[in-house]
Structure 1
Amino acid sequence: MYKAVLVDDENYDLEGLRQLIPWTELGIEVVCSENRSLSAMSYIDQHPVDILVTDIKMPVLTGLELSRKALDKNPNLKTIFISGYQDFEYAKQALNLKADGYLLKPVDDDEIVELLRKVVAEIDDTRKKNNEQSHFTESFAFIKSDFLQHLLEGRINQEALPAFLARYPLDIPTGTAIAVIIELDDVLWKNKLMPDAGQAALRAATTIITEYIDDHKLGPWCKLSSSQFALIYQEEAARLEDALADLNEYVQRNTYFTLTSSYGDLVAFPDQITQSFTQAKELIGNKMFLGKNRIIPPRLAKLQIAKDAKDLNAILDAMFMAVASYDLVKICDGMDDLFDNVRTFEHPVKVYSFSIHIASKLEAYLNTVNETYDSLLGWEFEHLDVIRQFETTEDIKSWLRKTVFEISERLFLKKQSKSRRIIEPIEQYIQAHLAEEITLREIANKFSYSANHMGFLFKEQTGESFNDYLVRNRMEKARNLLQEPTLKIYEVADQVGYKSLAYFSRLFREHYGITPGDYRKQS
């Protein structure tokens, strides 16, 4: 993986670069993204970097100045400039610095992806030449591992291959082999949970894996990244699955990681090993859809994917209505429907983009009710980058569902609290004026609401209509007054707002199943 640094003083442009470009697919790891050029320069001074993507016009240290300083440290650094200023002077200075690309904002995703592919190809060519020139002076173990990776990726000239194999024999006497990829699960997520101990735990797990491979003579191996290894296995696939299962069990016993492994078909070695490795890479990519902590064999190369993708906007609208009404069952149904669409995707990058799109739509909905992630959960939008640290669709779906549940609950509690504060003085007014003729419209006007909204508020807070609420409270007060023997029944009726004794008696009987007179006799 090549290491890239992204710099832009506009946070949204920087976030767009980080989120919308398929960096992993391009073979690039974004090791630093900064909105301050001085901080980026500090990182470049202390770490090896292959690619710099920077805005040109920034305060304190411009992108051009940053590039000059970075090139002084690393003359082989590839630089891409991005600018919102269509100024020939900037372009001319960038060309003088031998820029590898110059793009204008707003950046077209396809254009920058194509440019990055070109840059990666150029770095590949440079590294290949450098490797061929200096391989005799490098350590044997390092070169052998590097050679193995190049062999698997098909980046060794067929004419030079016999000489390499003679110098670095790989001990494949059978003439056939299987390419295997072994990947530690949840590395990013566990590093986030334990930032201090995460790297040490990862290094320990790496050592445990490589020592196990060597001790059990599973075959020559190389490290593809900090959490991924490639292995050339020469026995039949049935034994390979047992060996990988034993390795996973051993790793789980001795670390807090699990493993997901994939392998390609048994092929002629070395001529066809690249095909087997390509197959294994495609299969490990299906980890997103098939799940982790397992072995993915070639028979799962073509996933049976449903192509009946549902209307995304309709699902989102229904789910947002469920969020507003605190309907957890419908939220679950909506989340299931949303992730049914994932079955149509062919690459994990699309799953991440789709999930971040859902999260963005959710915040847009929250804005319509004057809320944000920050106001409800204390999150900045950047918090959503946690989505990229999950490795399967189920992990992402579970996290999103939990987040939406929490948002729905907090909206409900806020709404209840706000409405309760509104309804209390209205209830107090009604209690104080039960003897008077009270109408919904009169109450609405007094408290500056429409009659419709006042009716909705009563129904929401009390569970009954305004008229039912008024009658119930009058009847409860009448029942208490009837216990006073000095009051005539018509006086009780008058004190709860009824001028007609017959109408009052009928309502009392409907409410309690007994006439006011009989109730007094029983009291």
Structure 2
Amino acid sequence: MYKVLLVDDEYMITEGLKKLIPFDHWNMEVVATAEDADQALDYVREYPVDVVITDVNMPGKTGLQMIAEMKDLIPDAAYIIMSGYQDFEYVKTALNLRVADYLLKPVNKVEMGNILEKIQHQIQQPSQELANRLIHDDISEEEFCRYIAGRNSLWIGIAKEKKGFISSSYQVLGQNLQLFISDQEEEAMIEKAFEPPYKEHFHQFKDLVERSLFYGATPLNQDEEVFHYYEPAYRVIMQGNIQQILEELDWLEKMILEKTPKVSLTKQLFIQFLMDVFHLFEYLQGDDLADVVKKVQEAATFSEMISFIQEELSRFLSHYRMNENVASVLQVISRDYQKELSLKDISQALFINPVYLGQLIKRETNATFAELLNKQRIKAAQQLLLSTNDSIEDICYKVGYSNVGYFYKVFRKLCGKSPKTYRLQVMTEQAEDE
């Protein structure tokens, strides 16, 4: 609500205006009255207002003198002058002070209403501009503090309709809502106290809104280290056991609902899960993969996203069964990738010809044994690069390579960059997101 101050040395005038004019119709409320200019000036020094309606002739300072001083205290306020004297000099001075309008007593209700409607529109313009700039992160902390100076408490919230003294359309997860800032608690979908540093808390609130809408009634935590939990899931995928993959999806779902990370991280995690499954089984290509990614990204809620992923996996896995020998090879790679592995040794353990086993692996996964082993090792190396401070040489040995130069070559081939560049780039991106 916009704050209105009434100033008149006649008590009946201020009380009459409060009863005569439906200020709330223009989103305004009378917060105080004053009997003279000095009393009014003392009030706005402590409690800035948006609209001042004042008499001209008062004991001591005139209304025009008061306005001239108030301009330094509340430069953005709108001023309406009332007078029982139709004096051109008063009107000319008032216009020089950029007063909103000049009314003769007794005040006409319709005329006053027209002026208040015009003022409401004028006040809303800078507020709307500020709201749009705030949402697009185009306003400094200092500028925002100047704008809200004098307001004792602030609330930030999201609602289906405009509220507060700042409100702007806000698109989130397919919904068109109103993000608002108010100096009082409102009825809203989500709302919390808004305190400095405002820009930091504004970003936190936008994240809160997105996660609240996405996860629904789930209690919110916020663990951003979810990819540390993904390695066991990846090992299950690499084993090629269809039933275990479905069980792993259930585990990931429960884990995410417990951690409730940023929505972008959750979607990225499940896209990675789908891509790893589909790449292993060579199920989707090109445009199909892009379509799957798009649908996950567009999911408005966690349950909607999980339902889509379960449907995609069930449709694929219902008619797919991996060769048992190939599944055994994948299980060995997933479990023992740090060791020195060879297709010949594994084929002997399975009592199968190594050439034939290699052909089966290629047919089932569209990759060679060496390619699958390298993929597993590099995946493990990526995890260690991001979760430890180990040297690249130590990581090379930990994931099963004995030659650092060869490790660099394979890593660059699969990741498009060196291990050092990969670590720096991802760490930098994570720091920017925080």
Q: Under a length normalisation based on structure 2, what TM-score does the superposition of the two structures give?
A: 0.37
Q: Under a length normalisation based on structure 1, what TM-score does the superposition of the two structures give?
A: 0.31
